[in-house]
Amino acid sequence: MSRGALLLDLDGTLVDTAPDMVACLNRLLADSGHAAVEYARARNQVSNGAAGLLTLGFGMGPDDGRMPELRRRFLDLYATCLADNSRIFEEFDHVFDVVSSNGWRWGVVTNKPQDLARPLLSALGLSPDADCVIGGDTLAQRKPHPAPLLHAAALLGLDPEHCLYVGDAERDIQAGRAAGMRTAAARYGYLEDLSAAERWGADHVVDSPAELAALLRTLVTGTRRAG
């Protein structure tokens, strides 16, 4: 097997979106007369999206009646500042070098809505290069359901076992394993407990994009020998 694909979660795996998402949370809190949340504390909730941030900031559960309206306001605000301070994680150029030089393809599978994910990738100059972008509203199912990952593999014309899925949340690893893909936990992402990544059952754990690039080189070499 010489063909393969790298599939990536977005927030906390490919892009450091915490600066803009936490800023939006604190703007919403200020508008509502609440105190701001410390950045380091809020950062760890970014992979849980708007609901996770709002639950932290407003001290409410997902079933709280205020959630739908607050989530709408958060997303409307966030859409105006998607890439003000968000950046691709450092050293990801090494990852893309390995992908391109070995004929692999790459894409994004995120729970972020498509109308936010695609403009963010475009603003960061990634949209033309991605072979697929699957958002949280592309299908009826979201991660940890494997359907979005299986859909991505189908779009790329690859069997799931020829794909590596990388994410910084347990749901990412659950989805990847259920889809029959090789998985890697991105411990450099938004984890409150770094040791948790060891318990998710991922095939690999990486502490930086540079380690991910090294892992890819190993996988590419291995698949070529086996092919």
Predicted confidence at residue 3, as pLDDT, reads 83
11: annotated active-site residue:
yes
Predicted confidence at residue 226, as pLDDT, reads 46
Q: Start-end ranges of CATH 3.40.50.1000 in the chain? A: 5-16+87-226
pLDDT in tens, 147-178: 999 999 999 999 999 999 999 999 999 999 99
| Catalytic site residue from 11, 16, 168, 172 | 11
20: annotated active-site residue:
no
Angle, CA 221 vertex, CA 220 and CA 225 arms, to 5°:
115
| Catalytic site residue from 9, 16, 168, 172 | 9
Give the predicted TM-score (pTM) of the model: 0.95
How many angstroms separate the CA atoms of 190 and 86, rounded?
A: 14
How many angstroms separate the CA atoms of 20 and 80, rounded?
A: 10
Low-confidence ranges of the chain (pLDDT < 70): 1-2, 223-227
Domain 5-16+87-226, architecture per CATH: 3-Layer(aba) Sandwich (3.40)
